[in-house]
Structure 1
Amino acid sequence: MQSLNISTSAMRGIQQALDNTASNLANLDTIGYKRRQASFSELLSDSMNEQPKVDDQNRNTPFGLRVGSGARLGLTKLDLGQGNVKITDVPTDVLIEGDGYFAVTRQTDNKDDYFLTRDGNFKITRHKALNWYTLATPAGDYVLDKSGIPVQLTDPNQPIRIDAEGRVFNGDDDNPVAEIGIWKVNNPDQLQQVGKDLYDADLEDPIQLTDKYADAVTEGIATVRQGALEGSNVSMTEEMSQLVNIQRAYQLNSRAIGISDQMMGIANSIRSR
């Protein structure tokens, strides 16, 4: 029975790893997508120490027999490698070079939700509540500046320029009208994906933004590039290689279940005689 439990738990974890690989392949062309890499951990194991005395004779291995319970998917680690640079020459497209995230907000059910994203495919739109022009994602989420409020543009008909520090210049004015916030996340693996290349920022109020996250530009770990987007960091070759390994592991454990079933069938037939 133990062999059945071990192989069954392994197949369950392998299925989850397959789902992770499928998700990576599905987002091969998603702007700003970061692939996840599956890693496995061992389930609870036991040590059988009460063995017959005869087993201790001429024994070279440590005392006791280690009996495992299989493996499970322990973690899907976020790969923070930089994606390919896609030059678009669109003034509202913004690329983060280095480690950092944009912060965006969305109003739902009379409250504001806050998210982090690497997708810098922005557009100019009017903020419905604040009645000023700002930058927003294609889904309508407003981009936040360094103070936690939506970026404010003075004249949407004038060209905008964004420098390496995220400062936004509108028209011929040499004074920045806003500064796009680029935020440092200390433990990106803890970010919860909520779809559409967004991560839950775990904020109730924009004031908490500067308390929870540091300025990635000030920290010197990120810069901004206008007129470009970051592609997905998924490698088709690597994912297909991982897919082959998953398939072989699934076949191995499936074969182990079949052999265990045959062994139990033989044992039952001998007992019935």
Structure 2
Amino acid sequence: MQSLNISTAAMRGIQQALDTTSNNLANLDTVGYKRRVASFSELLSDSMNEQPASDNVNRNTPAGLRIGSGARLGLTKLDMGQGSMKQTDVPTDVMIEGEGYFLVTRKVKDVGGAIIQEENRLTRDGNFKVQYNNDEGGYVLHTASGYILTDNNGVPFVLPEPVRNIQISQNGELMADGNSYGNIGVWKVDNPDQLQQIGQNLYDAQLASGDNPATKYTNALEDGMATLRQGALETSNVNMMEEMSQLVNVQRAYQLNSRAIGISDQMMGIANSLRSR
């Protein structure tokens, strides 16, 4: 029975690793996507230290016999390696060179249209568009999913009128038509592995409505850990050849454990048939 438990636990973890690899491949062309790497950890194990005296006479193995229970998926670590640069020459495309995330926000409304709260999200996707927003009463820079870019105080950028000649400096200052509208906030997360992915290339910022991100995160631009590049986007850091190799390894491991379950079932069938005689 132990072999069945070990192989079953391994197949469950391998299936999760396969899902992780598939998700990486699916986001091969997603702007700012960071791949995840699956790592396994051992389940509880038992040690048989007290052996009968009759077993110790011709025993060649150590007295302590370690009996494992298999492995499980322990962590899907976020790979924060820098993606390649894609030059677009679009003024509202911004690339982070270094560490950190953009903070974007969106107002959540009830059925009647009243604003309940603000959702704060982190992203590396700098593909922003300018559009008028009724709630903010002006033009904003927003993501494809409708989240608005914020400044270094966590406040959305609001442009009072349609602007041209948008300029974004390396230190994050946003200027349009000769007027300065503040500095873009880029926030460093101390432990990115704890970020929860919520889809649409976004992470939960774990900030309540109205919270200043500086109370929880470090401004990467002010500390010199990152710079911005206007007119460019960061591509995914997924390596297709590496992911395909990982996919083959995962499939082979799944087949091996599936075969082990089949052999264990045959061995138990033989043991039961011998006992019945």
Shorter-normalised TM-score: what interval? over 0.9
Q: Tell me which residue corresponds to 2:112.
A: none
Gaps of 5+ in 1: none
- Select which of 256, 259, 270 maps to 2:263: 259
Q: Tell me which residue corresponds to 1:99.
A: 99
1:65 aligns with 2:89: no
Q: Tell me which residue corresponds to 1:177.
A: 181
TM-score w.r.t. the length of structure 2 is 0.94
Q: Tell me which residue corresponds to 2:131.
A: 125
How many Å apart are 1:61 and its aligned residue?
5.0
CA contact (8 A) 2:187 2:218 kept: yes
1:231 aligns with 2:235: yes
Query: Secondary structure at the residue paired with 1:41?
Result: strand
Render the CA deviation track for 1:43-100: whole Å, top value 9, x for unaligned: 1111112212244347675431111111111100000001111000000000000010
The size of the alignment, in residue pairs, is 271
What percentage of aligned pairs have identical amino acids? 65
- Select which of 145, 156, 176 maps to 2:151: 145
Written as runs of structure 1 = structure 2, the 5 A alignment for 1:1-273 is 1-57=1-57, 61-109=61-109, 110=115, 111-173=117-179, 176-273=180-277
**Aligned mates of 2:118, 2:136 — CA distance in 1:** 13
TM-score w.r.t. the length of structure 1 is 0.95
Q: Once superposed, which parts of structure 1, at least 4 consecutive aligned residues long, lie more than 3 Å away?
A: 54-62
**Aligned mates of 2:215, 2:178 — CA distance in 1:** 34
**Aligned mates of 1:185, 1:58 — CA distance in 2:** 58
Render the CA deviation track for 1:13-72: whole Å, top value 9, x for unaligned: 111110111000000000000000000011111111221224434767543111111111
CA contact (8 A) 2:167 2:174 kept: yes
